[in-house]
Amino acid sequence: MRFMIDWDDIRYFLAVARRGSITSAARDLGVNHSTVSRRIAAFEDNLGVRLFDRIATGYNLTQAGQEMVPSAQRMEEEALGLDRRLYGRDTELSGVLRVTTAGTFVNPFLMEQIGRFLAEYPGIDIELVVSSDLANLHAREVDVAIRATLNPPDTLVGRRIGRLTAMLYGRSDFIAPGEPGAPNSAAAPDVIAFEGGPRDFAQASWFRDAYPNARVRIRLNSIEAAFHAIISGIGIGMLPCHVGDTNRELRRLPPYHLEPVFDLWLLTHADLRRTAKVRAFINFMANAIMPHKDLIEGRRPPGFSSGDRPSVESSYAAATSVSEDVSG
């Protein structure tokens, strides 16, 4: 009797091929590592072909396994595409909605809006995943992403909320050169460099003019880490305006230069754009966030006094450019 390939076998095969490890593949698949080992062994037995070499450092693809990968990936894309298309026909405002966002957006304002959404749509439950990865939208591990990006992938659609901006911030007690009471040492502040946004502000002419002797003391790849480093007094640094302007312990520093960084998007996969709960969430969150666009885009007075905390309520009412790919 001819052996028919099971899609689940392909899933297990691809997970191990990508990870090179039974343990890591099991973690991705959400199963026990012994289950993955047993499934791979049974798959090879049924095929009559060894797909992996078991070595001390993990599982390496054999020649047969390498030849199988492209076909397995095509099967995966077809299966995921079918799943998304069928899910996209869902017209019910009920069930679990999986949302992902980066850690910098997990704040009281976002949670307040999610709470309002849940109150308005009592049939929907939310699963929030804190991650910066967009790939999980393709595999339908999540339904909606709140993301900062300049170039969303072509397979995703959504609404652009505004342009995220960053400014130079320091602790409220930091006195910048030229300000009353500034000591000579303030002309050579220690600097925190964030690798991943406004990368080279310490080399920008506007920064060098104001702080000619500044020294980069620490480089970080996380906005959250940069925020805590500035709060702790390690140095001054760039932060997104929606982070820096709403914290009592921070203030903007001269020369008050505004850096455009990324666009803020609400995104979903094109196949899910007409799913009722996806549309409801994206439109609800867009309407909730858009009135605060001035905070996101840095339109705040430059001279906050130490300890001041600007209201997150917005007076911004200008027309905006929004891609309404999921509203119809």
Tens digits of per-residue pLDDT, 166-203? 999 999 988 887 777 666 554 678 888 877 555 567 77
- Residue 145 reports pLDDT greater than 60: yes
pLDDT of residue 73: 84
**With pLDDT > 90 as the criterion, what percentage of the chain qualifies?**
19
Top mean pLDDT of 6-10, 181-185, 230-234, 289-293 is at 230-234
pLDDT of residue 126: 95
Strand pairing class (52-55; 58-61) = antiparallel
pLDDT of residue 148: 86
Confidence of residue 314 (pLDDT cuts 50, 70, 90): very low
Mean pLDDT of 235-242: 90
What are the φ and ψ backbone dihedral angles of 323, each rounded to 5 degrees? -90, 115
Mean pLDDT of 206-229: 87
pLDDT of residue 179: 76
Domain ranges of the chain: 7-87, 97-328
The DSSP secondary structure of 60-110, one letter per residue, reads EE-HHHHHHHHHHHHHHHHHHHHHHHHHTT---S-EEEEEEE-GGG-SHHH
pLDDT of residue 282: 92
Reported as a single tens digit per residue, the pLDDT across 45-103 is: 888 889 999 888 889 999 998 988 988 888 877 766 666 555 545 567 888 999 999 88
Query: CB under 8 Å to 32, separation ≥6 — which residues?
Result: 26
Lowest-confidence region among 152-156, 186-190, 292-296, 314-318: 314-318
Residue 307's region, left for phi above 0, alpha for psi from -120 to 50, else beta, is left
pLDDT of residue 318: 30
pLDDT of residue 319: 27
Q: Would you state the structure tokens that stand for residue 19, as one six-digit string?
A: 């990870």
Element (H, E) at 194: strand 190-194
Matching CATH topology for 7-87 and 97-328? no
Is the Cα dihedral 170, 176, 181, 184 positive or negative?
A: positive
3-state secondary structure (DSSP) of residue 295 = helix
pLDDT of residue 182: 67
The amino acid at residue 94 is: S
User: What distance in Å separates the CA atoms of residue 52 and residue 328, rounded to the nearest whole number?
Assistant: 48
Q: Which CATH number fits domain 7-87: 3.20.20.210, 1.10.10.10, 3.40.50.2300, 2.60.120.10?
A: 1.10.10.10
Q: Would you state the structure tokens that stand for residue 57, as one six-digit string?
A: 């450092």
Provide the residue count of the chain.
Answer: 328
pLDDT of residue 97: 93
CATH fold of 97-328 = D-Maltodextrin-Binding Protein; domain 2 (3.40.190)
- Residue 281 reports pLDDT greater than 90: yes
- Residue 136 reports pLDDT greater than 70: no
